[in-house]
Amino acid sequence: REIRENRSLLLYAPCLLVLVAILLGMRLFTLLPLERQKAGLELLFNRFEGLNASDVAPLLTSAGALNLLFIIGIATSYLASSLYADRKEQSYFFWQSMPISDRSTILSKVVTAVVMIPGIYMGVLAAGSLMLIIGVAGYSFSLGVELNGLQELFAAMLVALGFIGLSAFIAMLWLLPAVGWVLLFSAYASRVPLLWAIGVLVALSLLEEIVLGSNTIDTWIASRSSPWQYLVFSFEDMAARLLSYDMLFGAALGAMLITGATLMRRFAD
């Protein structure tokens, strides 16, 4: 149901973002003189020749941090409209007549945002990266560039894609409180739920500073706002993040907010 009703956001948007990024990179590269293009490609393949994929993958993973912002943006847009659209289109009453609980409906939204959106995006990114590698190899061959490091480049790309995928999963778990917060206002607001979610958060932050003279909310938001905090470069790094106190506290807070969204969906209408 989620994919069918949100096809444009869940399927078409990732394809469009990846395609635009690839085409933009190719266009910028083709603006260079032919001699510099050839020299750059030779340098690329020579640098990767003989390298261990695990040694180079962190660099490619860091370069892929922008993809995390795309994933978070798609998930935020989806969450903000998910429950709001049900009420606006009055499909809420149809689903209420079905043997599906509000909790199951909310959990389906959470799973879509936390698991499906990163998974779909990473599938599209992997396909786009493969086509890019093939295109670069073919173009390099046409220029007479020796493809000495092609195998190592391909291996590094696969490892980097794996780390980016793990980073995306970590990011969505790390942002579980934000998932619950946006869902809460998607279930409540009669208009522009995302603006409600942002506005109330800003108001609470200002109120805390005025009344208590502290910036706990601002500090906590800042601690979860940088994509560099989500990047993982090894399985040990992933385990450390998953089992950290910050992650567990965020998961507990997210669970409470998701429960609040379930109750809000039940009583808002």
pLDDT tens sequence across 113-130: 889 999 999 899 899 889
Q: How far apart are CA 255 and CA 181, in angstroms?
A: 10
Cα angle for residues 259, 99, 76 (degrees, 5° grid): 40
55 pLDDT exceeds 80?
no
Summarised one tens digit per residue, pLDDT across range 133-179 is 888 888 888 888 788 878 888 888 888 888 888 888 888 888 888 89
Is the pLDDT score of 92 beyond 60? Answer: no
| Residue labelled with tokens 């995306």 | 168
- pLDDT for the residue 43: 83
Range of the domain at 140: 2-267
Give the pLDDT score at 9.
79
pLDDT recorded at residue 50? 76
User: What single DSSP character describes residue 242?
Assistant: H
| Whether the predicted pLDDT of 69 surpasses 80 | yes
Give just the sign of the alpha carbon dihedral 25, 26, 32, 34.
Answer: positive
**How many separate domains does the chain show?**
1
Query: Residue 268: pLDDT band by 50, 70, 90 thresholds?
Result: low
Average pLDDT of every residue of the chain: 81
What is the 8-class DSSP label of residue 20? H
Q: What percent of the chain has a predicted confidence (pLDDT) above 70?
A: 88
245-259 residue pLDDT tens: 888 888 888 889 888
Long-range contacts, 137-144 (Cβ 8 Å, 24+) = 139/41, 140/41, 140/45, 143/34, 143/37, 143/38, 143/41, 144/38
**Locate tokens 């579980």: which residue?**
176
What values do phi and psi take at 112, rounded to 5? Answer: -60, -45
| 3-class secondary structure per residue, 64-100 | CHHHHHHHHHHHHHHHHHHHHHHHHCCHHHHHHHCCC
What would the mean pLDDT of 223-250 be, rounded to a whole number?
A: 76
